Structure 1
Amino acid sequence: MIKNISISTFVNIIFSLAFLSIFITFAMFLNYDQQKHEVSLQNRYELIAENFLSTFQNQPTAESLITLFKKFKVKPIEERERKLEIIKNAQELTITQNYLGTYRVYKYDDNYFIYVQQHGYNLMLKDADAHNYSIAFIIAGFIISILTFLILYEILKRKLKPLKLLNKQLIEFSNGNKDIKLNYTSSDEVGTIAKSFNEAISIINNQSKSKDLFMRNMMHELKTPITKAMFIAETLESEKTRETLQRAFKRMDDIIKELATVEKLTSKNTMIYKEKKSFSSIFNRTVEIMMVNHDHIVVEFTDFDFDVDNSMMPIALKNLIDNAVKFSPNKKAIIKANEEKIEIISLGEQLKHELSYYTEAFSQEEKRSDGFGLGLYIVKTIVNLHGFKLEYKYESGRNYFIINMKSSTKSIKESKENLITTKALN
């Protein structure tokens, strides 16, 4: 799951967790500090109360009491009404009774009072020292921590911002914009990546231009002599020699055509022009360009309309049918089609590898020496350009090559119930 998260999202998650951790840490510290403050006050008032109770046992003088008042920074409350007001309205924090006597601690109007009682003595003391709990320093520390945290977050976001731009430009390059250049002059790691990628783009563009120039020149230079050779072969008297040469030159011409198709399909400027066509019209166009005899084809489909490139799809179907007939023991192929899928079916052995092996350029079975290894590569490329999916299955001694159009044909409403005559495989 983490592998699929973008760096920006990952940074946001980490900083969110860090922010939450800071908040929880300060909340726990605040709670701990308040408890510590309360314990400290409790110890102080316990000490004050026990000192006064001990002094009361020895019948203290006014001077000794004044000394204690100054020592513990407390003031006696003399007025009876004031004492009653405090006892009646104050919050009683604690009450303790021991062998020396009894004392209570009150909180009233943010002031603390100690009420000490012993036989013959009844004294209420006000804590003159400021012991109110203040969270100002903690809040200040929290604010400083958050500000520092946010500044670091913003710095990191600014540092990662060029990566977003770099990713956007890389996507543009992958979509065919070969003239793109990454304008990032920093000397950090991102700058090094941008510089290296600019160099890679330059190398790729040079190689692509060289490849295109080579392919065009090669096909142009070979096309003319092959055409002339085929014309000369027609003049030969020996029928066997003439047919042998014509097959050889036809094969060379087919190779050039397939290479031209591959060059066109692999070009980033390749576009398909979809228009609503009936399957029967696409199939008729396929029959026109096929290399095999029409007697080897068995058709079984309900005609329908679908969005398709009128020049590309017949090439894909032609390659599938040619392969089916060529590698089938009875040299026949069945074509089944409906709005959801097109199936090319033939007798034969199951493929030794996964379909993906054969859809790579120049891939073929070891025993199939008469193929170029480009047929299924061309088929898959055309099928993918249409948004369809090429699939394969093997059932009951038959190979099924399927163009799955489910995702693209849901909106098709029109259908012609014109069933083409069905033949059976021998």
Structure 2
Amino acid sequence: MRKHAVFLTVLFAYVVTIVSVSAVFWEFYRLNKHRYIENIFSKHETITQLYREHQQKKTSNILLEANLAVYKFIIEKEKNYQQVILKKAKVLKQKDFQRVDESIILDKKGLYTQKVVRDFRISMLEWRKKIYFYIKSPIGSVLIEDEALKPYSYFSLAYTYSTIMLIISISFLLILQRLRPLIRLRRKIARFGDGDLKISFKTSGSDEIALVSNELENAREKINTILESRTLFLRNIMHELKTPIAKGTIATQMLKTTKQRDRFCSIFGRLESLVAEFALIEEVTSISNKDDFKEYRLVDIVDEAIDMAMLDKSGITIDIDASAKLVVNYRLYTTAIKNMIDNGIKYSPDAHVKIMSIDDELCFESKGECLSEPLHYYIEPFTKDNPSKNSFGLGLYLVDSILKAHDKVLAHEYVNGQNRFIFA
């Protein structure tokens, strides 16, 4: 997920914006519709008043219709259609209340006022884009259509909502479009990190991403120039050193004194070994791809490393699964194992090293004192714990470089008087 953090952040912001705007519009729609219904429901007071007077005064239906027509109210007379409306219409609002009717009664007891309490229910209905008021009382009912009113329309609100959603969506797509060069740039950087030094970051444009790409292209060209100069320098210096070393070795044989001859042979031999190690370092650092990496059995690599070290196998114990395989550069990985065997035997008091595999990790175990410095001190070039030993201090540095080229690391631990170096 970290590879797509920017995209996920933009997507999260887009979703949150959509949800938030939708929630605001939904709440606004509910409140607006409720307010609209409350406003038009207030007309029921006028209708109720007219209907009440009609019942109290027992006026004709024609007069009731005339009074209602003043306010653009029409009585629905057809019974069948009225039943359909009452059954299928949507109830927008309903209210129950009581009405007190007073009448003057004259009988044997005299003249007095009689009060009658009647229950009323008024409902506001919506049916086929028309508004109806239905009044029901114990002595009758009436269904009245309001010609002046129309149901609540959310078209304008939906249009506004759709416009805002479209603007947000287009903005999101534009942001993604602007991020595409960044995604391509990330892929190119990954390829460059994997060793493709010829990939180009150059791009047209003047935005921030284009400026970064072009600066990376300038940096790539400078890095390639430095690497080419470094490689050319190393190869030239090694080539130039081999000739005088070879001549010096031959001239040494002409010396008459055995002591001087042996001393010069030792000097030229060390110089030749140093040039060979420089060649290996140059080869490791110049690896640009893994085309030379193939699958080999680990036991075969270890056997080849022992042969390269020209050591007696009696000083080496091997405890490795015969079926274990690795995808490696055979020559370099063999050299790394050979250097670890040399170190184990050279610095161990019993001149013995044990090679074993533990949980897919290759371990080199030998007796000796614990390292006096942290491991990173010894993997620096030309670092030696014991200057009297016959080495240049490039062994662990070369091992570490080879392991890094194989996406591995060199680790160390000290257990029960044993130094254990691990290819992890």
Residue type of the partner of 1:45?
H
Q: Distance in 1 between matches of 2:220 and 2:243?
A: 35
Q: How many residues align?
A: 398
Percent identity reads 23
* 1:107 alignment partner, one of 103, 125, 128: 125
Contact 2:277–2:394 (CA<8 Å) still a contact in 1?
Answer: yes
Q: Distance in 1 between matches of 2:335 and 2:293?
A: 14
Matching residue of 1:177: 196
After TM superposition, the score normalised by the length of structure 1 is 0.77
Deviations 1:311-341 (A, max 9, x none): 333311221022223333x161323346955
* 3-state DSSP of counterpart to 2:354: strand
Is 2:151 aligned against 1:132?
yes
Residue type of the partner of 1:313?
Y
* 3-state DSSP of counterpart to 1:218: helix
Contact 1:83–1:124 (CA<8 Å) still a contact in 2?
Answer: no
* 3-state DSSP of counterpart to 1:176: coil
Q: Distance in 1 between matches of 2:183 and 2:30?
A: 42
TM superposition shift of 1:216: 0.8
Q: Distance in 1 between matches of 2:363 and 2:139?
A: 112
Matching residue of 1:247: 266
Contact 2:125–2:134 (CA<8 Å) still a contact in 1?
Answer: no
Q: Distance in 2 between matches of 1:115 and 1:315?
A: 99
Contact 1:335–1:344 (CA<8 Å) still a contact in 2?
Answer: yes
Q: Identify the range of structure 1 (64-73 vs 134-143) with the bigger mean alpha-carbon deviation.
A: 64-73
Deviations 1:270-306 (A, max 9, x none): 6535354573x54454344338x64883334468364
Residue type of the partner of 1:176?
G
* Structure 1, unaligned runs of 5 or more: 405-426
Q: Distance in 1 between matches of 2:286 and 2:164?
A: 55
Contact 1:343–1:403 (CA<8 Å) still a contact in 2?
Answer: yes
Residue type of the partner of 1:94?
Q
* 3-state DSSP of counterpart to 1:180: coil
Matching residue of 1:379: 399
Contact 1:358–1:376 (CA<8 Å) still a contact in 2?
Answer: no
Residue type of the partner of 2:322?
F
TM superposition shift of 1:106: 4.3
Q: CA RMSD in A?
A: 3.9
TM superposition shift of 1:229: 2.2
Matching residue of 1:419: none
Is 2:27 aligned against 1:28?
yes
Pairs within 5 Å for 1:4-403: 5-46=4-45, 48-50=47-49, 53=52, 69=68, 72-77=71-76, 79=77, 81=79, 85=83, 89=87, 93-99=93-99, 102-107=120-125, 109-110=127-128, 111-115=130-134, 125-269=144-288, 271-274=291-294, 276=296, 279=299, 282-290=301-309, 294=312, 297-301=315-319, 304=322, 306=325, 309-328=329-348, 330=349, 332-337=351-356, 342-352=362-372, 355=375, 357=376, 360-362=379-381, 364=383, 371-383=391-403, 385=405, 390-403=410-423
* Structure 2, unaligned runs of 5 or more: 101-117
* 3-state DSSP of counterpart to 1:304: coil
Q: Identify the range of structure 1 (257-266 vs 38-47) with the bigger mean alpha-carbon deviation.
A: 38-47
Q: Identify the range of structure 1 (164-173 vs 201-210) with the bigger mean alpha-carbon deviation.
A: 164-173
Residue type of the partner of 1:12?
L
Residue type of the partner of 2:97?
Q
Q: Identify the range of structure 1 (101-110 vs 209-218) with the bigger mean alpha-carbon deviation.
A: 101-110
Q: Distance in 2 between matches of 1:376 and 1:50?
A: 104
TM superposition shift of 1:240: 3.9
* 3-state DSSP of counterpart to 2:317: strand
Over alpha carbons, which structure has the higher Rg?
2
TM superposition shift of 1:369: 7.6
Q: Distance in 1 between matches of 2:314 and 2:86?
A: 111
Residue type of the partner of 2:96?
T
Contact 2:41–2:124 (CA<8 Å) still a contact in 1?
Answer: no
